[in-house]
Structure 1
């Protein structure tokens, strides 16, 4: 007599457990993928934050560099005492306005302004007072300029005004520059000083060089000095 029997597999090898193993493995694989994707997203966000931060730093550095360049340009082109354009700066401005004047066919005036008896101010009151006088004169002139006008310290107590678009003869407008300086005493510390200026004016002629224009303005200035100072003399256009 034969007896048939079968041996059941151990429980951890049963079909149910194998199916559970498969589900568990699949779940772990899916979880691993999700974890990896999350880590990748976190890394991408971190990199994006780093890029944004670095971009901000670069933009800040760029702005700082532009500010530094602008400050350097001002320092190079401006007089440290009066804050006016220096000699090189005002000559560059004049050259640019001469080109523009020819292109647009409109008048251009240069005014050579020299403070009268300025050496006497320095000798009597000292160079610090003289410097303060120059600074205050510059402020007064700036307050009386049109938006397109420019003025610079040409040398020592001599200033150069560049006045585009000023028609011939414009006596009143030019006299206003003189009156801006001499019309009221300058208050320097506890002292009140009357300062006057002689002004030589020339209109730019077509085909005239910068040096020729300045020479004619200087001739007019010399004439103003010779005729008694504190006056405006015009060189014939």
Structure 2
């Protein structure tokens, strides 16, 4: 305790960092950021931007960077990302920002660059599934997982999938995103011996076209796979990362 107080007094530790050390979280303008989740759960807290104002997203991202040296933001719109970029130029000028549609990964200059001895294959049925897959990939990339991305191999033209089968079989875990009737994860799971995580996507139209048909189809899969909620790229990426981390520990 005394060391923390002395560090705050001499400026080598910020009050937010000290609070994170003591409580595991830091209280900021936009709420409490769980700075200890990485150590406790193996996956850092993600900042869900939908429904938040741009200043709230910025405040949470700055708390994350100050206490964990990185921030992962999902479902951000252009205004929120623009505000974040503007703020970072002043508060964290050495930080790097990577963006995939509405998913943003920011690392400070001091951020650890982990590396796991595991490969996650991320597969999409079509272009519309890309943003959800991007969200999952950002989680895996932040953890240092090797990613093999295979896009546009939906079951409407099965040859596209079969052409990539040898490649898919080399992955340690597969994350498969598909909308419409959600058939692709079931087909993939019947062709590989690695764990498959199905991600239903809210693409389609008409009856159950908001991802319900894809979710129901994956839940009723006759081949063995795990399923996350509709559009839950972050959750799928986190699950794949936990599997990859367990494999990395076993291999080392």
Q: Relative CO higher for 1 or 2, CA cutoff 8 Å, sep ≥ 6?
A: 1
Bigger proportion of residues as helix: 1
TM over 0.5: no
Larger Rg, first or second structure (1 or 2): 1
TM-score normalized by the length of structure 2: 0.22
TM-score (norm 1): 0.23
